[in-house]
Amino acid sequence: MTGDLFDHLGVQEKAAEEPVRLGEGAFIFPGMALPQAEALLDAARAIARKAPFRHLITPGGHRMSVAMTACGDWGWNSDRKGYRYTRTQPETGEAWPPIPDSFERLVRQATMAAGFSEAPLQSGLINLYRPGTRLSLHQDRDEEATDVPIVSVSLGVAATFLWGGLTRKDPMRRFRLSHGDVVVWGGPSRLVFHGVAPLARSTHPATGECRVNLTFRRVTR
């Protein structure tokens, strides 16, 4: 009804703000982080001052196009010796900065909204995308606690997210992740193959040409 009334004005239908179930255990909450987006970005910038973004080298010797840093008890690292979580920044030996309260509140809110009981708060990874940055198809399985969901928050320039199945060959779906979108990936969806298509050259008022993605995990049991 209201959709019909407002469609011709280009106003978003209210339905667009309802959670969307992407698959078993996976939900997108469009715009859930919009009210605190600026505060989240400020907190991410403060983390990056203490733990600078860097381009990790994969075990295969490739420099990742995404720049990464982390907060919380565990940060993620990669080099020629392999992938692993570490309690300290390898470059300095210092602890990762703590997870800010603004991150923690949003993660708890999203976890509950998706119907999961345990919020993933051992590790908060921050991915920085510039035009052309991509993330090739992978599974997140370096965590012992794959029964706890991952929560992700997208900020800035929208990206095309690629979402497959439990094997590399499964067909892929693609959808947009826009500024303020929060996604919870739990249950069987926790282990699906996923990636991000090369970021288009575009700008967003909050981040310029960049996209910032936060992901929260439980790492150990």
Q: Give the residue with the Cβ less far from Fe ion, 179 or 217.
A: 217
Is residue 126 within 8 A of residue 69, CB to CB? The reply is yes
Measure the CA–CA gap between 165 and 190, rounded to whole angstroms.
10
Contact call for residue 185 and ligand MD3 (CB under 6 A): yes
Amino acid identity at 218: R
Contact call for residue 178 and ligand MD3 (CB under 6 A): no
Size of the site for ligand MD3 (CB under 6 A): 15
The three-state DSSP-derived secondary structure of the chain is CHHHHHHCCCCCCHHHHCCEEEECCEEEECCCCHHHHHHHHHHHHHHHHHCCCECCECCCCCECCCEEEEEECCEEEEECCEEEEECECCCCCCECCCCCHHHHHHHHHHHHHCCCCCCCCCEEEEEEECCCCCEEEECCCCCCCCCCCEEEEEEECCEEEEECCCCCCCCCEEEEECCCCEEEECHHHHHCCEEECCCCCCCECCCECCEEEEEEECCCC
Contact call for residue 183 and ligand MD3 (CB under 6 A): yes
Residue 78, contacted partner among ligand MD3, Fe ion, none, CB below 5-8 A by kind: none
Contact call for residue 122 and ligand MD3 (CB under 6 A): no
Cβ at position 25, least distance to Fe ion in Å: 15
Is residue 210 within 8 A of residue 137, CB to CB? The reply is no
Measure the CA–CA gap between 205 and 64, rounded to whole angstroms.
26
Q: Give the residue with the Cβ less far from ligand MD3, 11 or 141.
A: 141
Cβ at position 203, least distance to ligand MD3 in Å: 18
Residues 126-165 that bind Fe ion (CB under 5 A): 140
Segment interacting with ligand MD3 (CB under 6 A) among 5-13, 48-56, 105-113, 183-191: 183-191
Contact call for residue 209 and Fe ion (CB under 5 A): no
Residue 207, contacted partner among ligand MD3, Fe ion, none, CB below 5-8 A by kind: none
Nearest residue relative to Fe ion (C-beta): 140
Interface residue with ligand MD3, options 213, 216, 218, 219 (CB under 6 A): 213
Residue 125, contacted partner among Fe ion, ligand MD3, none, CB below 5-8 A by kind: ligand MD3
Interface residue with ligand MD3, options 40, 77, 164, 194 (CB under 6 A): 194
Write out the residues near Fe ion by the rule CB under 5 A: 140
Write out the residues near ligand MD3 by the rule CB under 6 A: 125, 127, 135, 140, 150, 152, 183, 185, 189-190, 192, 194, 196, 213, 215
